[in-house]
Amino acid sequence: MTAATDVLAPSTLRRGASRTGAKIALDMAFSVVLFVGTIVGVIALATLIWTILDNGWARLIADPAVFLTSYVSRFPARAGIKAALVGSAYLMVLTALFCFPIGVGAAVYLEEFAPRNRVTNFVEANVANLAGVPSVVYGLLGLGIFVRFLQMGPSLLAGALTLAVMSLPVIIVAAREAIRAVPQSIRLGAYALGATKWQTVRRQVLPAAMPGTLTGTILALSRAIGETAPLLVIGLPIVIFSIPNDLRDPVSALPLLIFDWTSRPQPAFAEAAAAASVVLLALLLAMNAVAIFLRNRYTIRW
């Protein structure tokens, strides 16, 4: 009788009955658009990896030992990544040594000990801003302070300090999140037994937060290893025929080498750059796998 009963009549409750043809078409079109939009990113990644492998795999496979253990050369066929690879490894270890303790220390202080006042807020805001500073600017910082003012020259020490300063905000954020994830009930239980704040932090909170902190640190380091700009700006060499023995020695790095080879016109160098990229990506993959393994195996499920 009325429009209402029409609407409620069984026949109009059929699925899609109120959806006009136009509406359905729009819904489907939207779904397609969404899918395409999402898949483009995936395809781009796949294409990228394919491009690298296509260009570099042959070069890498042809003589991996030579590639990995030779120094650079004018002749692309003879060029190797030894100095760069070893340099990157040294840089990574040294960077970790600098930024892990300081980053975790800062995180512990901000989460557990800092009073809620203007100074603390300022420090926190500062850390957040530092995380967004472009890597070239960190390079300029390294150049101005470590290389020139402190006269370290373009050395392993200067490079590691620059990368460490760049990674610091990231580690602080990761460590803070891990510490925050520890439930308050654990701290209360420790205090109630007569433990001091530091005893509680050192013996209960930090150990419980360690898996998450380590995961975040490894991820931060893997980003640092892929960075070229800061090392370029502080003047680390690309052509170098030795491995550093001393903190003051110059050192090269894998991304620097890739940049150099990419910039050369000869196609053979493009292949070499791609091969070096394969090595770099493999290194990153290994680090990320370790980080994910740590997270899955050791994270406490409260």
Partner 1 sequence: MPEGRTHVKEDEERHETRIADALKARPVEDRAAVAAETVFRLDDVHVYYSRFLALRGVTLDVGKNEITAFIGPSGCGKSTLIRCLNRMNDLIPGARVEGKVEYHDQDLYGDGVDPVEVRRRIGMVFQKPNPFPKSIYENVAFGPRVIGMKPSSMDDLVEQSLRAAAVWDEVKDKLKQNALALSGGQQQRLCIARAIAVSPDVILMDEPCSALDPVSTARIEDLMDELKREYTIVIVTHNMQQAARVSDRTAFFTAEAAEGTGDRTGLLVEYDRTDAIFTHPSDKRTEDYITGRFG
Partner 2 sequence: MVATPPDLSITRRKARTGERLIVNALFACAVLSIAVTVGIIAVLLVDTVEFFRESSIVKFLTGTVWAPGQGAGVDGLYGVWPLINGTLMIGVGAILVGLPLGVLTAIYLSEYASSRVRGVLKPTLEILAGIPTVVVGFFALQFITPSLLRPIFGTDRVFIFNAAAGSIAVGLMILPIIASISEDAMRAVPSSLREAAFGLGSTRRQVSLRVVVPAALSGISASVILGFSRAVGETMAVTIAAGNSPKMTLNFFESIQTLTASIAQTVNGEVAAGTVRYNALFALGMTLFLMTLAMNLISARIVRRYRQVYA
> Which 228-247 positions form the footprint of partner 2 (CB under 8 A)?
228-229, 232-233, 235
**DSSP character at residue 263:** H
For residues 217 and 33, give the distance between their C-alpha atoms in angstroms, rounded to a whole number: 37
Site for partner 1 in 208-227 (CB under 8 A): 208
Whether 234 contacts 146, CB under 8 Å: yes
CB of 196 to partner 1, least distance (A): 5
* x/- track of binding to partner 2 for residues 108-147 (CB under 8 A): xxx--xx-------xx-xxxxxx-xxxxxxxxxx-xxx--
Whether 244 contacts 250, CB under 8 Å: yes
For residue 300, count CB atoms less than 10 angstroms from its CB and return exposed for 0-12, middle for 13-18, buried for 19 or more.
middle
Does position 255 interact with partner 2 (CB under 8 A)? The reply is yes
Does position 192 interact with partner 1 (CB under 8 A)? The reply is yes
Does position 42 interact with partner 1 (CB under 8 A)? The reply is no
Residue in the block written with tokens 């100074």 = 119
* x/- track of binding to partner 2 for residues 24-63 (CB under 8 A): --xx--xx-xxxxxx-xxx-xx-xx--xx--x--------
For residues 277 and 213, give the distance between their C-alpha atoms in angstroms, rounded to a whole number: 28
User: Which of 75, 191, 241, 293: binder of partner 1 (CB under 8 A)?
Assistant: 191
User: Which of 12, 20, 121, 263: binder of partner 2 (CB under 8 A)?
Assistant: 263
Site for partner 1 in 50-109 (CB under 8 A): none
Interacting stretch for partner 1, rule CB under 8 A, among 94-102, 186-194, 224-232, 261-269? 186-194
Whether 219 contacts 103, CB under 8 Å: no
Whether 135 contacts 234, CB under 8 Å: no
Whether 276 contacts 87, CB under 8 Å: no
| Cβ proximity to partner 1, 19 vs 203, nearer residue | 203
